[in-house]
Structure 1
Amino acid sequence: MPQNRRFLLQRRPDGEPVPEDFELITEDTPELADGQFLIRNHYASLDPAMRGWMDDADSYMPPIPLGAPVRASTIGVVEESRADGFEKGQWVMGLHALEDYSVSQAGGFTQPIDPGMVPEVTNFLSLFGAVGMTAYFGLFDVCEPKAGETVLVTGAAGAVGSIVGQLAKITGCKVIGIAGGPEKCAKLTERYGYDVAIDYRGKDQAALESEIAAAAPNGVDVIFENVGGIILDAGLENIAMKGRIGLCGLISEYNTDPVGARNLWRLIVKRAKIEGLLVADYVERFGEGAATMGEWASAGKLVVDEHIDDGLENAYEAFMRLFAGSNQGKMILKIA
């Protein structure tokens, strides 16, 4: 069996992760048991949620054990197989780890994929993966936008946010995006079709509230929330009557003590509602979402950007781009 490089979590990060929290090792790949198959990972998805998995805290997934490789969604090719339904040379996608080779088994989350169905195989980690499905089901099932309404997306230039804004425009909504820096804000309006882009950098909550109010004088009907902190509070200050907030992420608080929303009283005033969303609830409907978004992408109504860094040895630097905001699209690590 081949040698396997593995990017391990060696200690729980205290705030922002540092290189010493991880270790890249090389070890033998274990022999396969009946029902198992070996995957040569080609690409891994790097997502903010991975930071939460590193903490020893109760969540929707168990913490990554210390000394284990960092969990990640990957796509790769079956190298060897002792499992029915998985043949050598077959492309697969599943929740594995940041490592050259992963052992999986039939009956798990790993599923075959057909690279011929998409322009690039990495699209299974962006538009047709958990990112795209989070945007699709989070917006349409949780937020329920209607034509003519105003939608506010925070983290709007990120992997999920950039797709949410486009889906809202397809629905016939006015779309406002909040992002960091003039380059990303220009991308919102020029590439993703946002009506208004708000740069949060260097602004306090009052300034953000004012800019949202100017862009949405009748209030915001839908907030697709990815950031939290003062940005969420600024959106809540502008929520419209019977508004809906889909809580997808709180990236501003992942490396700090939680701030919490202080404007929740606006939900009472406006009889609005907030609901958490998790893409795992929609796995059985992925085919539905992928088919619809595939049609829109083929028609030129959807674009997706991917930022691919090369090399498992660069996993830490690539992962930290998510918190520095230096990635220019869905963050993906090329392993093979």
Structure 2
Amino acid sequence: MSDQLRRIVLASRPQGTPSTDNFRLESGPLPRPQDGQFLARVIWLSLDPYMRGRMDDSKSYAKPVAIGDTMEAACVAEVIDSRNGDFARGDIVMGGFGWSSHALSDGTGVRKIDPAIAPISTALGVLGMPGHTAWVGLNDIAQAQSGETIVVSAATGAVGSLVGQLAKQKGMHVIGVAGGAEKCAFAEKDLQYDLCLDHHALDAEALQKAIAEAAPAGVDVYYENVGGKTLEAVIPAMNVGGRIALCGMIAWYSGKGLADAMPLPRVWRTILTQRLRVQGFIIFDHFDRLPAFLQDVGPMVRDGRVTYRESVAEGLDAAPQAFLDLLEGGNFGKQLVRVGDDPAG
């Protein structure tokens, strides 16, 4: 067992688009657990778009990461030393251990993972926060129904890929929007989207026309992950009584494209005239739905009714660049960092 703890801290706050200079790798002695604590070595580290907001010192639904503090993240880890009766050496756990090689915990907010159910990395993706977000957004927020038409932005991402599959299983007409021909082909062939539009190949006007042609009867549900020109293209196609589940807006996280965004009065007028219901949601408010989500989706993952894809960066040092690439759409599926050896293979 290594006697060094390595972690990546927030070195400075970004001005606009972040860079690797905003992060710093630090190392120090490996901590030892005290009574009630356990020490875990991180195996899988999750990278997610929400982390961009935590880098800014601005009011949000969660406190920003302080300068010099470890970047926040959910991780899957193995307990290697324990003085906590609820966790034993060898247990595989999921918790908010951060961009780090090891972490101490008293067990708060930590849950055990059963490697027999699915690969343990899925606890950060299709059976983790992104999957939970997809399920809640589609079912509880959008209240999607069979026979309706849905547009899913970031259609092959960690959230969108499950939204599309669950929507198709509901009997919906599913239109995806993704970046690149390869991602769109995956959406149609593997995720069973009815159609996927490549926003890299279409400007805002062309994308709006393509969505209108793909949904001649209009769009009932829009699952919003990105903002930007995809939102601009979907808004005119929304039906009366349509619902927008607002999950993210990655296109605007670093301030890009704000000057070119659709004017708010036009968006506001459409919400009024089409009687749209637009609801933003943060999955932290819906932890009570986690057991129902796992009961519903877990069997689908096990028997192959739900498929998933992961992008893996190797080593803790790779986390900053992998995160920056994620913000630019460089990932394909759930973005993970393999920090340590996976005992389950």
Tell me the secondary structure at the aligned position of residue 116 of structure 1.
coil
Counterpart Cα distance in 2 of 1:261 and 1:161: 23
* 1:265 has 2:269 as partner: yes
Partner of 1:59: 60
Query: Which region of structure 1 is more displaced relative to structure 2, 109-118 or 236-245?
Result: 109-118
Q: CA deviation at 1:188?
A: 1.0
Tell me the secondary structure at the aligned position of residue 208 of structure 1.
helix
Q: CA deviation at 1:81?
A: 1.5
1:283-294 matches, within 5 Å, as 283-294=287-298
Per-residue deviation, residues 157-208 of structure 1 (Å, max 9, x unmatched): 1111111000000000000001111111111111111111111114332221
Counterpart Cα distance in 1 of 2:112 and 2:305: 27
Q: CA deviation at 1:125?
A: 0.9
Tell me the secondary structure at the aligned position of residue 116 of structure 2.
helix
Partner of 1:17: 18
Tell me the secondary structure at the aligned position of residue 64 of structure 1.
coil
CA contact (8 A) 1:236 1:264 kept: no
Partner of 1:277: 281
Q: Which runs of 5+ in 1 are unaligned?
A: none
Partner of 1:138: 137
1:164-313 matches, within 5 Å, as 164-256=163-255, 259=258, 262=263, 263-313=267-317
Q: CA deviation at 1:243?
A: 0.2
Q: CA deviation at 1:298?
A: 3.5
- TM-score norm. by structure 1 comes to 0.96
User: How many residues matched?
Assistant: 334
Partner of 2:116: 116
CA contact (8 A) 1:9 1:70 kept: yes
Per-residue deviation, residues 215-243 of structure 1 (Å, max 9, x unmatched): 01111000000010221121111101100
Tell me the secondary structure at the aligned position of residue 156 of structure 1.
coil
Per the alignment, do residues 327 and 258 of structure 1 end up closer, same or farther by CA in structure 2, a change over 3 Å counting?
closer
CA contact (8 A) 1:10 1:67 kept: yes
CA contact (8 A) 2:218 2:237 kept: yes
Q: CA deviation at 1:29?
A: 2.6
Partner of 1:39: 40
Counterpart Cα distance in 1 of 2:325 and 2:135: 24
Which amino acid is 1:24 matched to? L
Tell me the secondary structure at the aligned position of residue 201 of structure 1.
coil
Tell me the secondary structure at the aligned position of residue 222 of structure 1.
strand
Identity of aligned residues (%): 38
Counterpart Cα distance in 1 of 2:3 and 2:85: 22
Counterpart Cα distance in 2 of 1:7 and 1:241: 48
1:87-106 matches, within 5 Å, as 87-106=88-107
Counterpart Cα distance in 2 of 1:68 and 1:299: 41
CA contact (8 A) 1:228 1:261 kept: no
Which amino acid is 2:115 matched to? P
1:312-327 matches, within 5 Å, as 312-327=316-331
Partner of 2:343: none
Tell me the secondary structure at the aligned position of residue 117 of structure 1.
coil
CA contact (8 A) 1:225 1:232 kept: yes
Per the alignment, do residues 258 and 171 of structure 1 end up closer, same or farther by CA in structure 2, a change over 3 Å counting?
same
CA contact (8 A) 1:11 1:21 kept: yes
Partner of 1:154: 153
Which amino acid is 1:293 matched to? V
Which amino acid is 1:62 matched to? K
CA contact (8 A) 2:35 2:84 kept: yes
Which amino acid is 2:171 matched to? G
Q: Which runs of 5+ in 2 are unaligned?
A: 341-345
